[in-house]
Amino acid sequence: MEVMAGAGDQDVETVDELTVAHGGVWRVTTFSSHYIFDLDDMTVTRQPGPTAARTMHDAPRHLVTIVACAVGSGGYWTMAPTTGGVLSLQELWSVSTAIVRIERVR
């Protein structure tokens, strides 16, 4: 864990790797998007950047597990599918572009 001086008087906690054991709410910044991981509620929401295409993962999804989420590598996590759809899926997965920063939101 690293604490960096942030904007204003606040310190920003950053980590090199995120796991579900961290708890709290984290912003994972990639080359093209941001992901908000709420590890207390176990949700993840993608926030596409200006050059990123919109995807089905832009809405909050129930996070099942984080397989990989480390600065310098692409991220990979699994999510529970929504119910009531036409397809019967066991899980959804997401792969991100390379992660450049992981910081605690709260």
| Tens-place pLDDT, residues 38-49 | 999 999 999 987
| Cβ pair 49, 27 in contact under 8 A | no
Residue 57: phi and psi, rounded to 5, are: -90, 5
| Reported confidence tier of residue 9, pLDDT bands at 50, 70, 90 | very low
For 70-93, how does the pLDDT look when each residue is reduced to its tens digit (9 = 90+)?
999 999 999 887 665 555 556 777
| Reported confidence tier of residue 54, pLDDT bands at 50, 70, 90 | confident
What is the model's pLDDT at position 81? 78
Residue 66 structural domain: 2-104
Between 25 and 84, residue with greater pLDDT: 25
| Counted domains in the chain | 1
Which residues, 6 or more positions from 66, have their beta carbon under 8 angstroms from its beta carbon? Answer: 18, 19, 20, 37, 75, 76, 77
